[in-house]
Structure 1
């Protein structure tokens, strides 16, 4: 039994006879679904069946045998539709016939490359949608820029949306186009990723929107109410061949939805898909509505800079020793193929970057050439090393070798990139994500291993072929090299596979069925789907539908006959509706109609998995504590993707002994437990065991904010006042990195748990700072010193002091069809109260601000504006009547409604209004509003007759948990 609770797992070997070498897997005591791929399957020699045998690695005579019939298998057509590269004279830059556009490329090239030349007329002189399939390094980005130039020239006022699958690619486009395209053309561009969410004004004013698939999917779901979505005239999707990857369904839904929007609005939409070479590119083009003029699918061998590839096999059953045996050949490859030119070495993990770099240094030292890769003077090197924070990177840079991975801080990563691009260092060892992110081409690329550790399955799995091609594509610099070199080091049994298929165009299949429930729910919420037939019709817009007809066996469709196809799609939709109904996201009727529920709307708005909504709906209840809510938050399905790397279960076990709230130490290898521990470590402000956990904490915090907002909506919909307040308190804890019981003054710089006891609570300190600046400075000087006291006062002046006032409640008549009407019709009126919020402090120029000021939250990884929750409830019954989420710069007024009775009371005598910050702990305010005697005969007038300054308001003292008069 595993004492750390890592789960019982048996190692087993799965040989599929007469096909490929066996595969090893870990089997748990639960159903598992795993596909054994046979790359040699051909229609001309299709066997009648395969034999699969499962052998235990630990137990004698523990085996299973299964004959897998292939009799009903229908293979797809073998598409070989390639675009021949014509022998054309390269077009000069002047072919743009626009001096401003030519200025964009003045310092980059004089002539377009052969691929750009061949597609130039279609890209620049027509509005045809385009699919451009070409190898990495073929200049596809410049090709997409030609379509942008045409849109801005021919269709002013329309917007461009550029979708990249990774934030690193988005950042690369932002950096490149900020200095180039946008500056020269005087266009406005916004970034839309998990780290940056511009306000509505920025989106309305933007000419160019650069975003990740998830962000545009979330925005375009409500396209009916978002005019800027309808103004999109050009949609560019980079790396569209990733349709078959994990995030492929999002790309598929985006294209389908944007085409549907264009058909509904009658506006033209140009689609541009950028891809590597595909074997079924014609299916992709047909689905996107791309005609013959816009179809370009060049062979993988077509590259502006020819690539020389070497595939080397290495024996060894175990991963880490096999990686170690590759280090000396990697050093030898550098000496053979690129002794003086830039070299990129791709590895699978952050640990491997360090081990590989150290071994290369050792081999260079053994050759008595320790500084063979250094390309700068000693004085310059010393200045560079002074700014490096990571000790391992500082060490390797001394020998001309950089490292690049997500565990490094932003400044260290940028420094490694800059030094490599500037040719100050010769070798850069990086994880595979660099291949998709920063454009750092080299003469030689070494791919050291084609496997990575997949945390959810706890095993090493192969990189997708697309990733291998992307890494290889970094070899060969168009400005410097006549050819590039790639050395691919693989496990010996897989050598023949890579030799055969590395340059074969591969098919793209749809992954939409795996995530169909989330996207169907979004369309139900938007109103696109109201019946089962609507859902079937919706599927006909997708790439999945087209591939279903072409490759039915891949999707478990027995026949493409109309009756069988209709039954298959109807069954799929029924299953999705049943799944969503079980999760509480939709309600169906006997006639096949479907309507969204509140949970469904929340899931769509906050981009949540239906399992997450099921967890929230079933786990949230009345009177929950912040600790209980943290466990619910970390149970979100999305956190199952949080990596628990090799040996991190041991680190989690150690971390569990340092946090304040207990976790189940038997589940230390569970990503949900890790998320809980990371958040508690964030609250406790303790040291994390490794740098990877810093990056993981940022990931968890980034997702947690929208999860908690969804939890607040679910709780508010149920009318739970105490639970809703506790959710808001949890948001404050995440923003400030504190437990709810910690002194609120610890939000200020230089204030720790030790010296916080010498200071008053934050509301008192804030009120004093607004009226007696010198006295507060002197008080703080005695605690943190004069210099630090000045900084603390500066932060205090940023924090909000908000006055709350309200008008006398008045009765308002409900609409006749209001859901609040009961069957007897005795609930025809509701009370309405107008609450006014005024920010009393801050610089005078804030009066002209259009948006709220930024909150002070240095421990939160993203910049965030100040926001507030305004709650109206009844304390005796703990009922929540109304909740408003708002953000303002100077002042705002909000109308809140509440019923005329509460519980068993005939009339309400008073209600409570509560103001909660979404960023600061201890600034909450609570007031009692007296309700006039219930009189249906006349409305009660409104007048703002109660003014209370927050310095004298009733606030929550977080140290005691009780509300006190201040």
Structure 2
């Protein structure tokens, strides 16, 4: 600061000026973190990290991004809203907006405008700022889902975006619209829109192949898996090399058996309820290695291992009760603990793959009668505990 005072907006480098400037910097920073609900300050001295702050630190996410998510995400936020919110993350400020001095070369904003015309999700005219890195991120995500070929510069930017988005998808898990965030993660890895057929993620399944399969009643990867060889070959009409690629994807596609047991007892408000879940991969995988866990995703530029989210929630109230992320090698037993307020609650278990579309499980646990008891004094305890479990 004494060597380069202008950089810090200092007009004097005396000891008093430096001390005043640093004190103001610390105070403003702490106030920003308090306003974003990342820390709390008691008695003007004691600083404690809150749940959002711990999440931001654990995932190396800016407190500004955490604040954007907290203010913008609602229980019923849909895919378009998720795309807008995640594109607004502070981390994307560094996505470059390139301008060429040579007028004979295309300016990047011209490319982005042409790209925007081809994409399905539009924004209000006032929000379409082609020189904004956040709007560029919004376009690059859509281009990825739509499998649009891009020039090398934009491909490099797109890879940076995708690396960060999978991390941000974790952050959405403080709400039951975490299910939407998990869809977003699957879309990033397998490069399909949520409305499209899950068959599109299989290698060489072009639109005509998907249409033939759908017309024949083949609608999922499991349907392709269970077909007789002759019937499959006749339906797909592919070369032997293409069929090998199809077989590689289908064989890697996860087949997960899920069983659960709710520990019986007197359920009271605020008291822990225990759900035991057993996850078992196909018995044919006798000795799965890390290579067996690697996701087959030809359009995703980053090597990734397949993981699973276990989510317990109450759909009627959109309340997430507990969430945990695991990697299943063969058989795994998982204990999920959650609390409920007094009343009757319809509870469901969601087992969701973070890398493949259509492999998820949606299981009704049943109605739970919860009697009056000593409820938690902090309404955010369940969310905090959920995120801690995931970490």
Kindly name which structure, 1 or 2, has the bigger radius of gyration based on alpha carbons: 1
Within 2, Cα distance between the matches of 1:767 and 1:805?
22
2:108 paired residue number: 648
2:237 paired residue number: 784
2:336 corresponds to which of 896, 918, 924:
896
Partner deviation per Cα, 1:865-916 (whole Å, 9 max, x = no partner): 1111110011222211011111121121111123244xxx6233x4110011
Tell me the TM-score normalized by structure 1: 0.35
Aligned in 2, Cα 1:576/1:757: closer, same or farther, shift over 3 Å?
A: same
Aligned in 2, Cα 1:863/1:841: closer, same or farther, shift over 3 Å?
A: farther
1:831 corresponds to which of 273, 287, 294:
273
Q: 1:549-588 to 2 correspondence within 5 Å? A: 555=8, 556=10, 558-561=12-15, 564-588=17-41
Q: How much has 1:762 moved relative to structure 2?
A: 2.1
* Alignment check: 8 A CA contact 2:225 2:250 kept: no
Partner deviation per Cα, 1:791-828 (whole Å, 9 max, x = no partner): 21221011110000011333599xxxxxxxxxxxx745
Q: How much has 1:559 moved relative to structure 2?
A: 4.6
Q: Which runs of 5+ in 2 are unaligned?
A: 100-106, 373-391
1:660 corresponds to which of 109, 112, 120:
120
State the SS of the aligned residue for 1:844: coil
* Alignment check: 8 A CA contact 1:751 1:784 kept: no
* Alignment check: 8 A CA contact 1:811 1:830 kept: no
* Alignment check: 8 A CA contact 2:270 2:340 kept: no
* Alignment check: 8 A CA contact 1:586 1:600 kept: yes
Within 2, Cα distance between the matches of 1:655 and 1:934?
53
1:638 paired residue number: 91
State the SS of the aligned residue for 1:869: strand
Within 2, Cα distance between the matches of 1:850 and 1:858?
18
The answer to whether 1:599 aligns with 2:52 is yes
Q: What is the number of residues matched between the two proteins?
A: 358
Within 1, Cα distance between the matches of 2:66 and 2:328?
30
Within 1, Cα distance between the matches of 2:61 and 2:220?
35
Q: How much has 1:927 moved relative to structure 2?
A: 0.7
Aligned in 2, Cα 1:656/1:803: closer, same or farther, shift over 3 Å?
A: same
* Alignment check: 8 A CA contact 1:803 1:840 kept: yes
Partner deviation per Cα, 1:556-595 (whole Å, 9 max, x = no partner): 273543x554433322210110122222222222332211
The answer to whether 1:696 aligns with 2:151 is no
Higher RCO, 1 or 2 (CA under 8 Å, sep at least 6)?
2
Within 1, Cα distance between the matches of 2:277 and 2:258?
7
Partner deviation per Cα, 1:349-374 (whole Å, 9 max, x = no partner): xxxxxxxxxxxxxxxxxxxxxxxxxx
1:672 paired residue number: 134
Within 2, Cα distance between the matches of 1:933 and 1:664?
46
Aligned in 2, Cα 1:891/1:579: closer, same or farther, shift over 3 Å?
A: same
Aligned in 2, Cα 1:830/1:678: closer, same or farther, shift over 3 Å?
A: same
* Alignment check: 8 A CA contact 2:162 2:188 kept: yes
Q: How much has 1:680 moved relative to structure 2?
A: 0.8
Q: Which runs of 5+ in 1 are unaligned?
A: 1-547, 814-825, 937-966
Tell me the TM-score normalized by structure 2: 0.84
Within 2, Cα distance between the matches of 1:622 and 1:922?
23
* Alignment check: 8 A CA contact 2:109 2:131 kept: yes
1:907 corresponds to which of 344, 368, 380:
344
2:185 corresponds to which of 731, 734, 750:
731
Q: 1:57-456 to 2 correspondence within 5 Å? A: none
1:216 paired residue number: none
State the SS of the aligned residue for 1:829: coil
1:808 corresponds to which of 262, 280, 294:
262
1:845 paired residue number: 287
* Alignment check: 8 A CA contact 1:811 1:829 kept: no
2:222 corresponds to which of 764, 771, 781:
764
The answer to whether 1:793 aligns with 2:247 is yes
Q: How much has 1:752 moved relative to structure 2?
A: 1.5
Aligned in 2, Cα 1:765/1:780: closer, same or farther, shift over 3 Å?
A: farther
Aligned in 2, Cα 1:551/1:856: closer, same or farther, shift over 3 Å?
A: closer
1:861 paired residue number: 301
2:148 corresponds to which of 671, 683, 686:
686
State the SS of the aligned residue for 2:344: coil
Within 2, Cα distance between the matches of 1:550 and 1:867?
49
Within 2, Cα distance between the matches of 1:679 and 1:828?
41
* Alignment check: 8 A CA contact 2:343 2:369 kept: no
Partner deviation per Cα, 1:633-685 (whole Å, 9 max, x = no partner): 11111212111212111111111110111135541222111111111111111
State the SS of the aligned residue for 1:913: strand
Aligned in 2, Cα 1:633/1:780: closer, same or farther, shift over 3 Å?
A: farther
Within 2, Cα distance between the matches of 1:732 and 1:564?
52
